[in-house]
Structure 1
Amino acid sequence: MKILFTKTAFVLLALGAVLSSCSKREQSQKTGITYNDKNNGGYVRFRQTHPSPGPGLVPIEGGTFVMGGSADQDVTYDYNNVRRRVTVPSFYMDETEVSNQDWLDYLHWTAVTFPNDRELYYDALPDTMVWRKPLSYNEPYVDNYLRHPAFQDYPVVGVTWDQAQEYCQWRTDRTNENILRESGRMLAWKDLNGGGKQGAAAAAGTAGTGTAGAQPFNTDIYLNGQIRGPGADGKKMMPDLSPNAKAGAGKGGKPVRPVRMEDGILKQGYRLPSEAEWEYAALALAGNTQFENIDDGKMYPWNGLGVRSAKSKTRGLILANFKRGNGDNAGVGGYLNDKADITAPVRSYAPNDFGLYNMAGNVNEWVADTYRQTSFEEFDDFNPFRGNEYTNKRLADPSKGLYAKDKYGRPIKDPAKSNKKLTYSELLAQQGLRPDSANAAPQAQPADPANGNAAANATTLPLAAKNSGKPFNPDLRGEKDTVNMALYGTTTLVNNHSKVYKGGSWNDMAYWLNPATRRFMDQDEASAEVGFRCAMTLVGAPEIHPVGKPHYGVKKAKAYKSR
Structure 2
Amino acid sequence: MPLNFKSFLILFSSFFILMSCNEKKRSEPVQVVEQKPEIDTGDYHENYLREISFIKTRSDSASTEGMIKLEGGNYMMGGTSSQARPDEFPRHKENIRQIWVDETEVTNAQFKEFVDETGYVTTAERSFEIKGKKYEAGALVFDPYNPEWWWKFVKGANWKNPTGPESTIKGKDTYPVVQVSWYDAMAYAKWAGKRLPTEAEYEYFNRAGNDTLIYHWGNEFEKAPEMVNFFQGNFPKQNSVKDKFERKASVKSFPPNPFGLYETSGNVWEWCLDTYYPDAYSKIDKRTDGYFKDFVNMQQQKVIRGGSFLCSESYCTGYRNSARMSSAPDTGLEHTGFRCVKDI
Amino acid at match of 2:220: L
Amino acid at match of 1:98: V
**3-state DSSP class of the match of 2:234?**
coil
Paired with 1:122 and 1:89, the residues of 2 have a C-alpha distance of 31
Q: How many residues align?
A: 258
Q: Residue 62 of structure 1 is aligned with which of 72, 77, 80? A: 72
Matches within 5 A, 1:135-284: 135=145, 141-143=163-165, 146-149=168-171, 151-172=172-193, 270-284=194-208
**Residues 134 and 516 of structure 1: CA distance in aligned 2, closer, same or farther (over 3 Å):** closer
Please provide the CA RMSD for this pair.
3.3
Instruction: Provide Cα deviations, 1:152-172, integer angstroms capped at 9, x if missing partner.
Output: 211111110011001111122
Is structure 2 residue 259 aligned with structure 1 residue 354? yes
Q: Structure 2 length as normaliser, TM-score?
A: 0.66
1:330: Cα distance to partner? Answer: 8.8
**Residues 168 and 146 of structure 1: CA distance in aligned 2, closer, same or farther (over 3 Å):** farther
Paired with 1:102 and 1:159, the residues of 2 have a C-alpha distance of 13
1:328: Cα distance to partner? Answer: 7.3
Amino acid at match of 1:518: R
Paired with 1:373 and 1:80, the residues of 2 have a C-alpha distance of 8
Is structure 2 residue 92 aligned with structure 1 residue 84? yes
Amino acid at match of 2:203: E
**Residues 382 and 298 of structure 1: CA distance in aligned 2, closer, same or farther (over 3 Å):** farther
**Residues 167 and 272 of structure 1: CA distance in aligned 2, closer, same or farther (over 3 Å):** same
Contact 2:265–2:320 under 8 Å retained in 1? yes
**Residues 133 and 384 of structure 1: CA distance in aligned 2, closer, same or farther (over 3 Å):** same
Considering fraction of residues, name the structure with more helix. Answer: 1
Considering fraction of residues, name the structure with more strand. Answer: 2
Paired with 1:379 and 1:531, the residues of 2 have a C-alpha distance of 26
Task: Name the structure 2 match of 1:131.
Answer: 141
**Residues 330 and 348 of structure 1: CA distance in aligned 2, closer, same or farther (over 3 Å):** farther
Q: Structure 1 length as normaliser, TM-score?
A: 0.42
Q: RCO greater where, 1 or 2, for CA within 8 Å and sep 6 or more?
A: 2
Amino acid at match of 1:158: Q
**Residues 124 and 58 of structure 1: CA distance in aligned 2, closer, same or farther (over 3 Å):** farther
Task: Name the structure 2 match of 1:93.
Answer: 101
Matches within 5 A, 1:141-540: 141-143=163-165, 146-149=168-171, 151-172=172-193, 270-285=194-209, 297-308=212-223, 317-327=225-235, 332=240, 337-380=242-285, 384-387=290-293, 494-495=299-300, 498-510=301-313, 511-538=317-344
**Residues 105 and 308 of structure 1: CA distance in aligned 2, closer, same or farther (over 3 Å):** same
Larger Rg: 1
**Residues 302 and 277 of structure 1: CA distance in aligned 2, closer, same or farther (over 3 Å):** same
Amino acid at match of 1:165: M
1:307: Cα distance to partner? Answer: 4.1
1:297: Cα distance to partner? Answer: 2.9
1:528: Cα distance to partner? Answer: 1.2
Identical pairs, percent: 29
1:318: Cα distance to partner? Answer: 3.2
1:536: Cα distance to partner? Answer: 0.7
Is structure 2 residue 93 aligned with structure 1 residue 72? no
1:305: Cα distance to partner? Answer: 2.5
Paired with 2:213 and 2:331, the residues of 1 have a C-alpha distance of 32
| Alignment gaps of 5+ in structure 1 | 1-51, 112-119, 173-269, 289-295, 310-316, 390-487, 539-563
Paired with 1:330 and 1:319, the residues of 2 have a C-alpha distance of 20
Contact 2:84–2:322 under 8 Å retained in 1? no
Amino acid at match of 1:525: T
| Alignment gaps of 5+ in structure 2 | 1-61, 127-136, 147-151
Amino acid at match of 1:323: F
Contact 1:159–1:526 under 8 Å retained in 2? yes
Paired with 2:288 and 2:214, the residues of 1 have a C-alpha distance of 23
1:364: Cα distance to partner? Answer: 0.7
Task: Name the structure 1 match of 2:18.
Answer: none
**Residues 128 and 351 of structure 1: CA distance in aligned 2, closer, same or farther (over 3 Å):** farther
Instruction: Provide Cα deviations, 1:255-303, integer angstroms capped at 9, x if missing partner.
Output: xxxxxxxxxxxxxxx0000000000000001xx6xxxxxxx83111112
Paired with 1:95 and 1:524, the residues of 2 have a C-alpha distance of 25
Instruction: Provide Cα deviations, 1:35-55, integer angstroms capped at 9, x if missing partner.
Output: xxxxxxxxxxxxxxxxx8622
**Residues 158 and 81 of structure 1: CA distance in aligned 2, closer, same or farther (over 3 Å):** farther
Amino acid at match of 2:121: Y
57-66 or 375-384: bigger deviation: 375-384
Amino acid at match of 2:89: N
**3-state DSSP class of the match of 1:520?**
strand
1:367: Cα distance to partner? Answer: 0.4
1:97: Cα distance to partner? Answer: 0.3
Contact 2:123–2:180 under 8 Å retained in 1? no
Contact 2:122–2:184 under 8 Å retained in 1? no
Paired with 1:134 and 1:91, the residues of 2 have a C-alpha distance of 39
Task: Name the structure 2 match of 1:121.
Answer: 121
